[in-house]
Amino acid sequence: MVGKTAIKDNSLKKTKHFSENKNYNLKSKLLKEKKIDKEFLEKLRFITLEDLITLKLLVSTESLKGKLYNFPFLKYSYEICKESVVRFALSMSSNRKEASLILGMKKADFLHYIKEYNLIEEFNYDRRTKNNK
């Protein structure tokens, strides 16, 4: 544009203050805790999300022989999926603002989800383990 100044988009600009989820990554956390390994991650690439959820439910209910009457799976599945998407955004971003932009929501709404799903504890745990090293 000639004669006009372009508006800069600083929304993803590096911040000067500390971000609680800067080093948070769920995959790294689970690898470090040895709950998953690289072989599992390779196999996971070929499983659809629907199949993964179904398998998790089947494995979780094996000890009950599949008899989970009156447990409202459908009611809670929406909340479980929302929490998973919030965790994904936090794992992919370097700060909360960037995570909220990934999901296309206001930062205030995103912070509400972090509090609602009690994810602040995970950030504090991850930061404590890094500080102890």
Q: Mean pLDDT of successive 10-residue segments in the chain (133 residues)?
A: 56 54 78 94 93 88 78 85 91 89 93 88 57 52
- How far is the CA of 86 from the CAs of 11, 43, 98, 125, in angstroms? 19, 24, 12, 17
Q: Among 70, 68, 48, which residue's Cα sits nearest to residue 57? A: 68
pLDDT of amino acid 68: 74
The size of the chain, in residues, is 133
Cβ atoms 21, 15 nearer than 8 A: no
